[in-house]
Amino acid sequence: MNDKIAYLEEKARELRTTILTMIHAAGSGHPGGSLSAADYVTVLYYDEMHIDPQNPKMEDRDRFILSKGHSCPVLYSVLAQKGYYDYEIIHTLRKFGSILQGHPDMNKVPGVDMTTGSLGQGLSVGAGMAIGLKSTNNSARVFVSLGDGEINEGQVWEAACTASKYKLDNLVAIVDFNGIQNDSFTKDIMPMDNIADKWKSFGWEVMVCDGHDISDLVKTFEEMKAFRHAGRPICIVANTIKGKGVSFMEHVPMWHGVAPNKEEFTQALSEINGGDCNV
Amino acid sequence: MCKIQKEHVKTSRGYDPQPTRQAYGDVLLEMGAERDDFFVIDCDIAKSMKTMAFAEKYPQRHINVGIAEQNAAGVGAGLATLGYKAIVSTYAVFGSMRMLEQIRTSACYPNLNVKVCCSHGGLTPASDGVTHQAIEDMGIYRTVPNIAVMMPADYNATKAMMRALMDYDGPCYIRFTRDSMPNFYEENEEFVIGKGKVLREGRDITIIANGDLLHEAIKATEELIENGVDVELIDMHTIKPLDEELVLKTLAKTGKIITVEDHNILNGLGSAVADILATQGNGIMRKVGLKDCFAESGPYHDLLHKYEMDACYIIKMARELL
């Protein structure tokens, strides 16, 4: 178990390195929410999800919808590391002719299960997928990553109702609760207090975890399996830190959508890799 | 003065007039028995959309998300990623505007098989008034890449076009009438998305119409013929992809086109035809439709008359061009 945790922690470090490398190369992008999502995305892709990078359209694969699509560097990075596409392509993020569009295009990137980027739409899509999978007794699950700013959108709660009505226990929403949205702190822009109670009141099974503690994430996904056929969709509230892993980005709203310059990039990599910058 | 009687259509085949939304409900029920590759997603107006019979017979393939159109669009997109055709069912005002961005980004951009099927097109929800009259919808979707946009004229055309739409690869927008329309087409008439139908060949002037106003165009055509005008009449049920070849062909023949649509004259059928005329053709045209204003509650035919969208007005436009 400890070996597994250490392995996943190492993969999360690599993921943060890839994220910052691609955003720095692009000169634009969204580091804050990519870094806050890095740990749960690592656990999903390296431990939890039933996937095959050699067969990205496998019918019984678990699906992942990055509804907070602006955080796509985290998704592009994990897909690159898993070998869905040539790792060197990460340097082309947001560039002319690249498969790595500013927001994810399912028809361009192998392994991207849904085109996203307009906030609030992913959970409805996930509900549709979950309904369709259930109708053919496909055992696959659908994971949808939502931002805590994103859930300001009314459509998210329309989807929450639908998932509850249709008893979609094959649908898992992960709320990246990092406390910051585009303009500033969520507490100032649109507070989403009592987040767990909100989802519970919509009929969801809710679990809360430390979104940066790999052990806690692994444990949460493990415990989640108890509800696999409970007839309720599952919401994991992952308490996270925007910009996690880079001291000057953590908790700073500005780093929602700004790329690090050369000095900032060097410092960031050095912090992530424990002072040993080898990229 | 115009002599045309409100309800007089010589070409009617003798079927009872029906709203085309009824054909939509009926053909879904038929297709439900024939194929299992589609879901119908309703937004609490299944009764009005005539999808209730399908919902009752095929509950496993029917989803009712309540009054949540944006969500319905997304649920449809999700189903479509699995290879299903997703029939998203609502009124045209909501199907084009409330869920527009969801359809644009989650269905049209990834080019998924989401079919937005809407009743209450144009002024056909006549007494419901402006909130439920969709006059912008076809024009709005015409500007979104990948999606096909169409309006059939009657019961049999609607059934045939729904069948064509199910086998069309990509997102579609189709609108139906709330109110009853006369029947014109035979059963088993063949429709191809993107291919207009020449209903009568003529040499003097072309009338290109679609949807419910095809019936006004038919009335106008009959009147004009009686007065010695050789009219070419086309049912342009699909405004996107537009049958450019047919527009150019008729333009070369008559050089004069009147477009007729139950829609704002901006950006619908008339504008689509005008785009061809402006860039590739040679001739003159007039557009008949709602003149960039909101209408009001009232009997359907009275609205068409007041807002200059009826057969009398089509004839007036024809006289101007001839």
Residue B154 to residue B184: CA distance in whole angstroms: 7
Cβ neighbours of B37 (radius 10 Å): 12
B8 pLDDT more than 60: no
User: A53 — contact with chain B (CB < 8 Å)?
Assistant: no
Tokens of A61: 């694969």
pLDDT digits (tens, 9 = 90+) for B191-245: 999 999 999 999 999 999 999 999 999 999 999 999 999 999 999 999 999 999 9
What residues does each domain of chain B span? Answer: 20-175, 197-321
Residue to test with chain A: of B42, B71, B88, most A Cβ within 10 A: B71
Phi, psi of A101, rounded to the nearest 5 degrees: -65, 165
Residue with tokens 């969500």: B71
Task: State yes or no: cis peptide before B241, omega within 30 of 0.
Answer: yes
The answer as to whether A278 is a domain residue is: no
Nearest CA in chain B to A133: B82
A61 vs B contacts (CB less than 8 Å): none
Distance from CA of A245 to the nearest CA of B (A): 32
Query: Are residues A75 and A6 in contact, defined by beta-carbon separation less than 8 angstroms?
Result: no
pLDDT reported for residue B188 = 87
Residue A237 to residue A146: CA distance in whole angstroms: 10
pLDDT reported for residue A274 = 83
Residue A166 to residue A12: CA distance in whole angstroms: 35
Q: Find, among B68, B28, B43, the residue nearest to B165 by Cα.
A: B28
How many structural domains compose chain A? 1
DSSP assignment string, B76-139: HHHHHHTT-EEEEEEEHHIIIIITHHHHIIIIITTT--EEEEEESBBT-SGGG-GGG-BSSHHH
Q: For the packed helices A31-43 and A72-82, what is the interaxial angle rounded to 10 degrees?
A: 40
Distance from CA of A115 to the nearest CA of B (A): 6
pLDDT digits (tens, 9 = 90+) for A188-232: 999 999 999 999 999 999 999 999 999 999 999 999 999 999 999
pLDDT digits (tens, 9 = 90+) for A56-77: 999 999 999 999 999 999 999 9
Query: Are residues A239 and A36 in contact, defined by beta-carbon separation less than 8 angstroms?
Result: no
Task: Please state whether beta strands B148-150 and B284-290 pair in parallel, antiparallel, or not at all (unpaired).
Answer: unpaired
B84 vs A contacts (CB less than 8 Å): 132
Cβ neighbours of B62 (radius 10 Å): 21
Q: What fold characterizes domain B20-175?
A: Rossmann fold (3.40.50)
Among A115, A124, A161, select the one facing B110 at the smallest CB separation. Answer: A115
Look over chain B and give the mean of its residue pLDDT values, rounded to a whole number: 95
Per the structure, the complete domain to which residue A255 belongs is given by 1-273
Whether B197-321 and B20-175 are alike in CATH topology: the answer is yes
Contact B71 A132 (CB under 8 A): no
The answer as to whether A279 is a domain residue is: no
Residue A91 to residue A82: CA distance in whole angstroms: 16
Put residue B171 in one of left, alpha, beta given phi > 0 → left and psi -120 to 50 → alpha: beta
pLDDT digits (tens, 9 = 90+) for B36-90: 999 999 999 999 999 999 999 999 999 999 999 999 999 999 999 999 999 999 9
Cβ neighbours of A84 (radius 10 Å): 21
Distance from CA of B38 to the nearest CA of A (A): 10
User: A133 — contact with chain B (CB < 8 Å)?
Assistant: yes
Q: Which residues of chain A have pLDDT under 50?
A: 277-279
**Three-state SS for B259?**
strand
User: B52 — contact with chain A (CB < 8 Å)?
Assistant: no
Write down the ipTM of this complex.
0.94
pTM above 0.80, yes or no: yes
Q: What is the CATH number of the domain that holds A173?
A: 3.40.50.970
Residue A256 to residue A275: CA distance in whole angstroms: 24
pLDDT digits (tens, 9 = 90+) for B132-187: 999 999 999 999 999 999 999 999 999 999 999 999 999 999 999 999 999 989 99
- Side chain identity, residue B191: F
User: A146 — contact with chain B (CB < 8 Å)?
Assistant: no
Among A106, A113, A162, select the one facing B75 at the smallest CB separation. Answer: A162
What percent of chain B has a predicted confidence (pLDDT) above 90?
93
Stretch (H or E) spanning A71: none
Phi, psi of B286, rounded to the nearest 5 degrees: -135, 150
Beta strands in chain A (DSSP E): 63-66, 142-147, 171-177, 205-210, 234-239
pLDDT reported for residue B15 = 61
Residue B57 to residue B30: CA distance in whole angstroms: 11
Is B244 a catalytic site residue? Answer: no
pLDDT reported for residue A53 = 98
User: B66 — contact with chain A (CB < 8 Å)?
Assistant: yes
Q: Which residues, including other chains, have CB under 8 Å from residue A54's CB and lie 6 or more apart?
A: A83
pLDDT (average), residues B21-47: 98
B6 pLDDT more than 90: no
Nearest-5° angle of CA A143, CA A146, CA A147?
Answer: 155
Contact B79 A132 (CB under 8 A): yes
B311 pLDDT more than 70: yes
Scored b (16 or more CB within 10 A) or e, B133-169 reads bbbbbbbbbbebeebbbbbbbbbbbbbbbbbbbbebe
Q: What fold characterizes domain B197-321?
A: Rossmann fold (3.40.50)
